[in-house]
Chains A and B, each alone.
Chain A
């Protein structure tokens, strides 16, 4: 009988933990696909399979930091965001500027003297860092430019591949 008591106690406490730390916090409606590179000139827009990535990664915070999902695990972020709760802005572009180096963005960053995150990646940099960073771990996913987004005619001209017809893009990968 005392053994049963222990087991019940243990089971109850486990339940309590899982309830207080829900693995996926209730958040804004999640899109199944996201069209990325919408304004791309050199590379065409493409559809990002958000649903598939959720199924594969499960941890929202791996990509969305502390904005949604579980608490942050990165020890450097955890120094301040250990107990940060989910926030309303979840999409990448909500925080990462698509024009990180425009005079307006630089002036705005300089004006906010109380801000800690001065070294914030732009939208393009954040996405490539997130995607390529994860994909390059033990061949988890594609890393070549055109494996995700096909190059446009203008892009071919830009990389001088149309008239010189040298090697195809990313023949050797990265």
Chain B
């Protein structure tokens, strides 16, 4: 009996030791990645937060004195910050739905079996790999009111010429067009992969039941794709909210700040005006706002996944 007890205790000890060893080995594998992540991800964020609550001394190029919420107060008092926020919202409200709808529509169209489909898919990647500054420059030429091909084509139908970079609405439209040109292929590729992974038997059963093309799209494809659409939206949202390079290259944020998206404003305040503390405060505000909105989108996405 006593021997059994000793044996049981030993078994318990060895189980604990095994668990500990297992835990240790897991952490040993995770530690390098965790340390690396902390160094490259957490440290810059924490340092940005520190700068946002400090006075930034250019002589030592570092945060030197705790000033509390002062930088945040300056930022929130600056009409340019709020204007940039509005501009960013307008851009997101137009660009994201257009890219998602267009991306999934194109994917649906090219999903049919036809020769050269893979070549077209490969070509779709090109806009994504073009540097944003180059894309902005090319589109400036394409949309140039005098020499641009777009105005020439519009002119053939008796319209225009349109001043793409001189009119506030058209300048925003230009930004949305360029961004859509760059990022719709990403949505197309994601949607194509999603369409290919849809269960074939459901469609076969629907066909046997006499469902037409529209019924299959509306009642089967779209509901099955909803979680993917939601996830793609979140991924694109996270990318789009950071956009500033296209605006910098194509419109310089103009005319009169009409395309001055928030990240371009932050960039200009930091590198042109050398107001690093205020820029850090803005970056933190955007970080928090993005996290909250992303959280809401993720919950929505999970809800849709569970529903469909």
- On whether the two chains bind one another, the answer is no
